[in-house]
Chain A
Amino acid sequence: AQSVTQLDSHVSVSEGTPVLLRCNYSSSYSPSLFWYVQHPNKGLQLLLKYTSAATLVKGINGFEAEFKKSETSFHLTKPSAHMSDAAEYFCVVIAQGGSEKLVFGKGTKLTVNP
């Protein structure tokens, strides 16, 4: 079965420093992977998606992620954190095999310190 593991439940960075949110996946198929962001009291917003095209995927708000099959990873990065990036981030895989439902990681809460 497809699954994702977000390696850190909390990440804290200073404004202007790089962000790294780690995600490993498990999939029997070539996976479709996503990162979503959830700001407090708001719904989820799609940041970026990987669907077997380019391995380096650029998303909104300066975020990008690199699909590494050899490491089964899909880490999310941003060169310079902004205060508005403080939120919870979810790594997501599509469970194939007929159901095509989203399977979410447990989430990583990002704190950005001034």
Chain B
Amino acid sequence: KAGVTQTPRYLIKTRGQQVTLSCSPISGHRSVSWYQQTPGQGLQFLFEYFSETQRNKGNFPGRFSGRQFSNSRSEMNVSTLELGDSALYLCASSQNAANYNEQFFGPGTRLTVL
């Protein structure tokens, strides 16, 4: 069974631009969660989607948004990029909502904002 895939793996943008990251969960998994990882703040929860609905949201500004499609693939969007948005963005999938015992992570998308 293929693992969680994230595209692109690396991305360079400039301040003020917007970016869209994609996550394809493991086949059959219906929940996708997103995390931001930075050296200063560590790993922080962004949001979780289950069956195309946002189920939970972390403490991030409205510039960070996401969505989930009917095939469970998820995208996250960051608008008006700031230097501080440079980070590794990880997504994780699980079969059911809030089933954190079985959450599988992708390799991440490394975003650099110049």
Contacts and interface: CB of A to CB of B under 8 A. Distances in A.
Interface in B43-60: 43-45, 48, 56, 58
SS class, residues of chain A in contact with chain B:
strand
A54 B101 CA distance: 15
Contacts of B101: 46, 49, 51
A69 interface: no
Contact of B100 (A94, A106, A107): A94
Contacts of A51: 101
A46 B103 contact: yes
Contact of A105 (B4, B42, B58, B105): B42
Contact of B48 (A32, A43, A101): A101
Interface string A41-60: 11111100101000000000
B100 A90 contact: no
A106 B42 contact: yes
A90 B92 CA distance: 15
Given A34-B100, A51-B101, A103 B45 contact: yes
A45 B102 CA distance: 10
B103 to A, nearest CB: 7
Interface residues of A, number: 22
A46 B104 CA distance: 8
Interface string A31-44: 01010100001111
Nearest to B101: A49
A96 to B, nearest CB: 10
Contacts of B102: 46
Given A100-B56, A100-B98, A101-B56, A43 B44 contact: no
A44 B33 CA distance: 13
> Which of A34, A46, A102, A107: most chain B CB closer than 10 A?
A102
B4 to A, nearest CB: 7
Given A101-B45, A103-B45, A42 B107 contact: yes
A104 B43 contact: yes
Given A45-B105, A104-B43, A106-B42, A32 B100 contact: yes
Interface of A: 32, 34, 36, 41-46, 49, 51, 90, 94, 99-107
